[in-house]
Amino acid sequence: MTHRFCDGVTRRDAIRIGTAAAFGLPLTLPHLLRASESAKNKGRSASDVSLIYVFLHGGMSTIDTFDMKPDAASEFRGEFSSVPSATPGLRVCEHLPKVAKETNRFSLIRSFRHHNSDHGPADHYMFTGYFPTAGFNPNLSPNNQRPAFGSVVSRKLGPRGSVPPYVCLPKLHPSGGPAYLGAPHAPFVIDGDPSAPNFSVPDLVPPPAIAADRLDDRRKLLADVDRFGAAAEAKVNRHARAVETFRGKAFDLMTSPAAKTAFDIAAEPDKLRDEYGRHSLGQSCLLARRLVESGVRCVTIDHSNWDTHDGNFAVLKKSLLPQFDAAISTLFRDLADRGLLETTLVLVTGEFGRTPRINKNAGRDHWGPAFTVLLGGGGIHGGRVVGKSDPRAERPASDPYGPEDLAATLFARLSIDPKDEFLTPEGRPVALVNNGNVIHELL
C-alpha cells in the first residue's frame, strides 16, 4: 500500500531520498568519517546528553490524545474518552493506557503554536527552529535553508567513538539535512525499516559477494592503486589525498565491534522487542535507544502517516495510537531502567496538530495555531504541563511557545549555547536560534 500525504508526496518518494544528493555527492562512509575527524579537531562539549527526536510526520491530533476537550461541543471534542495518568490531575486518551503510566517521565507543552499549516514549511520550522523564507522548495530533498537540529549537534559536539553523531531512520526526512553546514554534517541514514525480518545496515557490512577473508585483500589492492597515483594527486588537490585515510577508516568501521553492536537490533531480547511493538515506530525507537547507548548524539525517527484528514478516529484507534502507546511508553521505561533517561532528551511532535473542528469526512485537517509537544529526559522535569490551550484547543490560552523556543531549549539541554553563531560559506554570521527563549518551566 502506498502512503500518500495530502500534498501528493508518497512515502515511497521520501524513502527514495539520497542522503546528500543535493550537495553533489553521496554521504558515503569515507565522507562520514572525514566529517567525524573534522569535528574532533574543532573541540567537543563535555556534555553527555543525546537527543532522540520522534517526528510524527503528517501531524498528530493532540486534541484527541494529550489535550482533550471533553466539555467542548461534539464537533470539537471527538469520539474518545480520557483516562487518568501517573501524574495527578493529568488525563490522556483512553487509547494510550501504557503512555498514561509513564507521564511522570515526561512533560507536555500544551500552548505550543506556530503560524503555518502546510506540511513542507511547517516541517522545516519544526526541524530547524527557523521558518523558511522566499524560495523554499518543499519538493527538494534535502530542502533545508537552515540546518536540522541533528546537523547542528554534529557540528557543535562531534562524534563519540566510532559511531556517527547524527543518524536518521527509517529514512531521511526532507528537512533533516545540514544546509550551509555542508555534507560533512549530513546524517548517516539507515534507509530501512528496523521491523523488517531481514533488516540490516548495508554500509556496516561487506557486500555479500566479498567474503570476510577477502576484505583485507581489497584494502591492500586499493592501497596499491592509491600509491601509484599519490604524487599526481597531491599536486592537484590536497584534500583528495586525505580520502585514502577516511576510506581506510570506512573499512575499519565495517569491522568495528562497537558499530556492529550499535546497529544490531536482532541482539535485543524478543520480549523487549515485542514490548516496543513489531512495527516501524516500535523498532525504530528500540534502535534509537541502542544507538544513543552506543554514543550516537542525535537520532531522528521519521514516522508516518499521521495526516488524518479522513477517518481520523478509526485510524488513530486501530493503528496509530496502539503503535504509539507501545513504542513511546517502552522507550521511556527502557531508558529509565538502563539509567539513560537523564542523559537522553526525548522530543515527540509532529509539524503541527489537527483542526479542533471535525470535518465532513470524520477527519481533522492541518492546524498550526495550537498543539501539544512532548519532552522528557535529559534534565527535563517529568509530570509537568506547561501552558494551556483555550476551551476548543484553537489557540494558546497562556504561555505560548514556538519552534524558536523549542530550539533554544534543546540546545541548552545539549550544552550548546543557544546564542552561538555559525558562519555560512560566504562568511555571513547566522544565529543558531532565531530569538527563541529556553522554556524554563520544563527545567
Domain boundaries, the chain: 36-203+263-442
- Cα–Cα distance, 174 to 22 (Å, whole number): 11
Yes or no: say if 15 and 171 are a contact pair by the CB < 8 Å rule: yes
The CA angle 358-364-369, to the nearest 5 degrees, is: 100
Mean pLDDT by runs of 10 across the 443 residues of the chain is 63 42 42 47 57 98 98 97 98 98 98 98 98 95 96 96 93 96 92 93 57 52 51 45 41 63 94 98 98 97 98 98 98 98 98 98 98 98 98 98 98 97 93 97 96
Answer for the pair 395, 370: CB distance below 8 angstroms, yes or no.
yes
Q: Whole-angstrom Cα distance, residue 102 to residue 104? A: 5
Question: Do 351 and 126 form a contact (C-beta atoms < 8 A)?
Answer: yes
Q: 423, 386, 392, 150: which is closest to 288 by C-alpha? A: 150
In whole angstroms, give the CA distance from residue 161 to residue 36: 9
Q: What's the confidence (pLDDT) of residue 440? A: 97
Does domain 36-203+263-442 correspond to CATH entry 3.40.50.1980?
no
- pTM of the model as a whole: 0.84
- Rounded Cα gap, residues 59 and 367, in angstroms: 8
Q: How far apart (Å, rounded) are the C-alpha atoms in residues 282 and 287?
A: 9
What's the pLDDT at 210?
45
| Residue 345: partners with Cβ closer than 8 Å, 6 or more residues away | 49, 50, 51, 52, 375, 376, 377, 378, 379, 380, 410, 413, 414
**What's the confidence (pLDDT) of residue 200?**
86
Residue 56: partners with Cβ closer than 8 Å, 6 or more residues away: 303, 304, 306, 324, 348, 349, 350
Q: Which helix (H) or strand (E) holds 74?
A: helix 74-77
